[in-house]
């Protein structure tokens, strides 16, 4: 990951990072606590949105025992930050100060610049002489640099009450990642034991009521950040995040949500504004156009990462089976964002075009799924129990935007586009067909890797059966009706690791052994790749690392 003048192999870089990582313990919630009235860093540290010359650093200070997230209590507190080349901070390369204020829930963000490209750094904060945990981050390759590979952890859908965040712990332990991509549903908005209705609750979240106000969203983010595995993930790698619906409310659209009742739960605009404010306070994410998460990051000449916001501008979801899904006046992206992503894809000179999209773009029909499985699948995928071939919350409910984007890829000859998706608590490896009904005779415009949930319920959880039993029939039926779907796993929880080289992009899918076990192990399930210039998915025999 160097420029053209000094080319270092990826193996050498990985070894160097591994040596540094051996010195870095995972940061848990007890790493730095207040003594008496001294400040504390109870929510860990984080970094995100890496650039060739910088990175966004984050922490939260608890200045007094009563200054819990969302409380509005506690004095403004001076905070210092440092970035160093070594964990002992003998070689400090950047430093500064900020103020943790009650008006921003005592969160602190430092947008550090002046760093070297493709370099690992360590960072920490201090308040009144109390040190934070130490974090590790990494800048990206220079925009015009030749780099032999980039590797991401990929996650989505982490419901606190559904289980433990073991997937985060396993990604935190890896020493080979350039960043972790979080594709949405970082938090969930429901009240206690409201989701999933099937139960059981593995651990209770706070607040116990559904979150609707700024104080509520702040408190829920704070609750999540007490998880040791989540803290470890943020301390180990820069995180690149987008939101989906549960950062707001289930099935969010621009003017409301399925899980929002105007009047009883206030006005939607106020709730959405509160959720966005808390998100940008608590996440290491640079707000983009109009306070959204659509933005673009570059990883040398190898890859451009286009990150989309599919909640802020979309039209309301229509009824499943309705012809309104094809209405050109309905949108999932909004006109400005669709033009932005089309322009970015057309002008990119990167070898690969990665598109972070929170809901699946590949079309899905359900064919002859057994009747007893249609109800659970309807719950996960938003289809009626009659099995109509539309999930109206995904791109299937907004077909004109999809048609325009895929036609743009084909018409402009834009190869090597890979959609990276979460949302539906299943793993998929798909070609993205121009016309699904005639695939594979008609071409594929791109490929798509969908990662499963960290904890949120999937098919075996809903049915309360052992994994990979009832789902076999459903998976077989889905693949038979959708020849562009090369693989689907409806049962596992876990994460993905995406490895990109000039020759191919490969997703390795990992599953945790038991989401209700805080010590759950992780095992490799499958790997799929797309070779440069093919727009087709194929199975790979082994993971890359």
Task: Tell me whether residue 191 is in a domain.
Answer: yes
The percentage of residues in the chain with a pLDDT greater than 70, rounded to a whole number, is: 88
Task: Tell me whether residue 4 is in a domain.
Answer: no
Q: Which of 108, 138, 168 is the last residue before a domain boundary?
A: 138
- CA distances in angstroms from 348 to 50, 202, 303, 434, listed in the order given: 19, 45, 9, 22
pLDDT at 31: 41
- Domain shared by 313 and 454, yes or no: yes
pLDDT at 324: 87
> What is d(CA 168, CA 237) in angstroms, rounded to the nearest whole number?
11
- Domain shared by 81 and 201, yes or no: no
Task: Tell me whether residue 466 is in a domain.
Answer: yes
- Domain shared by 212 and 332, yes or no: yes
pLDDT tier at 32, thresholds 50, 70, 90: very low
Task: Tell me whether residue 522 is in a domain.
Answer: yes
Q: What would the pLDDT profile of 392-407 be if each residue is shown by its tens digit?
A: 999 999 999 999 999 9
Segment 335-358 mean pLDDT = 98
Q: What would the pLDDT profile of 176-209 be if each residue is shown by its tens digit?
A: 999 999 999 999 999 999 997 767 899 999 999 9
Task: Tell me whether residue 479 is in a domain.
Answer: yes
Segments of 401-468 assigned E as strands: 417-421, 427-433, 444-450
- Domain shared by 448 and 489, yes or no: yes
Place of tokens 């064919």: 367
Reply yes or no on whether the pLDDT at 447 is more than 80: yes
- In CATH, what number is assigned to the domain containing residue 133? 2.60.40.380
- Domain shared by 122 and 166, yes or no: no
Return the closest-CA partner of residue 255 out of 312, 188, 325, 322.
312
- Domain shared by 122 and 209, yes or no: no
Place of tokens 């400005």: 336
The token pair at 299 is 């990883």
> What is d(CA 120, CA 315) in angstroms, rounded to the nearest whole number?
42
- Domain shared by 216 and 130, yes or no: no
Q: Which of 90, 111, 138 is the last residue before a domain boundary?
A: 138
> What is d(CA 368, CA 374) in angstroms, rounded to the nearest whole number?
10
What does pTM read for this prediction? 0.91
- Domain shared by 311 and 238, yes or no: yes
Write down the mean pLDDT value for the chain: 90
pLDDT at 270: 98
pLDDT tier at 129, thresholds 50, 70, 90: very high
pLDDT at 80: 98
> Would you list the DSSP string of 20-46?
HHTT-PPP-TTSS---TTS-B-TT-EE
Reply yes or no on whether the pLDDT at 310 is more than 70: yes
- In CATH, what number is assigned to the domain containing residue 327? 3.60.21.70
pLDDT at 382: 57
Q: Which of 138, 167, 191 is the last residue before a domain boundary?
A: 138
Domain that holds residue 433: 150-540
- Domain shared by 84 and 205, yes or no: no
> What is d(CA 357, CA 4) in angstroms, rounded to the nearest whole number?
32
How large is the angle between the packed helices 268-282 and 214-224, nearest 10 degrees?
30
pLDDT tier at 373, thresholds 50, 70, 90: low
pLDDT at 371: 53
- Domain shared by 207 and 345, yes or no: yes
pLDDT at 384: 42
pLDDT at 67: 98
Reply yes or no on whether the pLDDT at 368 is more than 80: no
Reply yes or no on whether the pLDDT at 14 is more than 50: no
Reply yes or no on whether the pLDDT at 391 is more than 90: no
- Domain shared by 154 and 134, yes or no: no
Segment 437-454 mean pLDDT = 94
Buried b (16+ CB within 10 A) or exposed e, 118-154: bbbbbbbbbbeebebbbbbbbbbbbeebbbbbbbbbb
Task: Tell me whether residue 111 is in a domain.
Answer: yes
Reply yes or no on whether the pLDDT at 90 is more than 80: yes
Reply yes or no on whether the pLDDT at 30 is more than 50: no
The percentage of residues in the chain with a pLDDT greater than 90, rounded to a whole number, is: 79
Return the closest-CA partner of residue 364 out of 458, 476, 484, 457.
484
Which residues, in sequence order, are CB contacts of 312 under 8 Å at separation 6+? 254, 290, 292, 334
pLDDT at 8: 30
Segment 126-152 mean pLDDT = 97
Task: Name which of 29-33, 216-220, 347-351 the model is least confident about.
Answer: 29-33
Number of compact structural domains in the chain: 2
pLDDT at 460: 83
pLDDT at 325: 87
Return the closest-CA partner of residue 24 out of 133, 125, 138, 151.
133
Q: What would the pLDDT profile of 207-258 be if each residue is shown by its tens digit?
A: 999 999 999 999 999 999 999 999 999 999 999 999 999 999 999 999 999 9
pLDDT tier at 26, thresholds 50, 70, 90: very low
- Domain shared by 259 and 367, yes or no: yes
Task: Tell me whether residue 3 is in a domain.
Answer: no
Reply yes or no on whether the pLDDT at 388 is more than 70: no
């Amino acid at each position: 990951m160097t420029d053209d003048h000094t080319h270092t192999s990826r193996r050498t870089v990985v070894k160097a990072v591994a040596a540094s990582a051996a010195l870095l313990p995972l940061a848990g919630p007890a790493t730095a606590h207040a003594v008496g009235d001294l400040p504390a860093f109870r929510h860990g540290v984080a970094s995100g949105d890496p650039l060739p010359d910088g990175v966004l650093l984050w922490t939260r200070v608890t200045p007094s025992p009563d200054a819990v997230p969302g409380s509005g209590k506690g004095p403004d507190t001076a905070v210092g930050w440092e970035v160093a080349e070594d964990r002992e901070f003998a070689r400090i390369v950047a430093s500064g100060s900020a103020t943790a204020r009650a008006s921003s829930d005592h969160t602190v963000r430092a947008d550090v610049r002046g760093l070297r490209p493709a370099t690992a750094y360590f960072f920490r904060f201090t308040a009144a002489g109390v040190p934070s945990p130490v974090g590790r981050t990494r800048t990206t390759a220079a925009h015009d640099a030749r780099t032999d590979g980039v590797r991401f952890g990929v996650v989505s859908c982490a419901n606190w009450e559904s289980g433990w965040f073991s997937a985060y712990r396993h990604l935190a332990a890896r020493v080979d990642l350039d960043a972790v991509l979080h594709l949405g549903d970082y938090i969930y908005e429901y009240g206690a034991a409201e989701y999933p209705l099937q139960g059981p609750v593995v651990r209770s979240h706070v607040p116990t009521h559904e979150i609707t106000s700024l104080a509520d969203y702040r408190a829920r983010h704070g609750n999540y950040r007490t998880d040791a595995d989540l803290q470890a993930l943020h301390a180990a790698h820069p995180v690149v995040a987008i939101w989906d619906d549960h950062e707001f409310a289930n099935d969010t659209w621009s003017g409301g949500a399925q899980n929002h009742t105007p009047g009883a739960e206030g006005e939607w605009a106020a709730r959405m504004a509160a959720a966005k404010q808390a998100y940008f306070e608590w996440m290491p994410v640079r707000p983009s156009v109009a306070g959204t998460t659509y933005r673009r990051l570059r990883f040398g000449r190898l890859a451009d990462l286009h990150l989309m916001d599919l909640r802020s501008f979309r039209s309301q979801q229509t009824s499943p089976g309705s012809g309104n899904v094809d209405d050109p006046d309905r949108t999932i992206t909004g006109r400005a964002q669709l033009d932005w992503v089309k322009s970015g894809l057309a002008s990119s000179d990167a070898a690969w075009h990665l598109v972070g999209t929170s809901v699946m773009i590949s079309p899905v029909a359900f064919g002859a799924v057994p009747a007893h499985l249609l109800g659970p699948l309807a719950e996960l995928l938003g289809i009626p129990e009659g099995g109509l071939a539309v999930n109206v919350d995904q791109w299937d409910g907004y077909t004109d935007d999809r048609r325009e984007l895929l036609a743009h890829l084909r018409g402009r000859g834009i190869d090597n586009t890979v959609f990276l998706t979460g949302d539906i608590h299943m793993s998929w490896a798909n070609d993205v067909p121009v016309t699904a009904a005639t695939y594979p005779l008609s071409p594929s415009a791109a490929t798509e890797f969908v990662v499963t949930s960290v904890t949120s319920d999937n098919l075996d959880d809903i049915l309360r059966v052992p994994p990979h039993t009832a789902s076999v029939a459903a998976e077989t039926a889905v693949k038979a009706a959708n020849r562009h779907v090369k693989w689907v796993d409806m049962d596992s929880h876990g994460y993905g690791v995406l490895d990109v080289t000039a020759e191919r992009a490969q997703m390795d899918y990992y599953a945790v052994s038991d989401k209700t076990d805080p010590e759950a192990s992780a095992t490799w399930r499958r790997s799929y790749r797309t070779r440069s210039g093919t727009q087709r998915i194929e199975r790979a025999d082994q993971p890359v690392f």
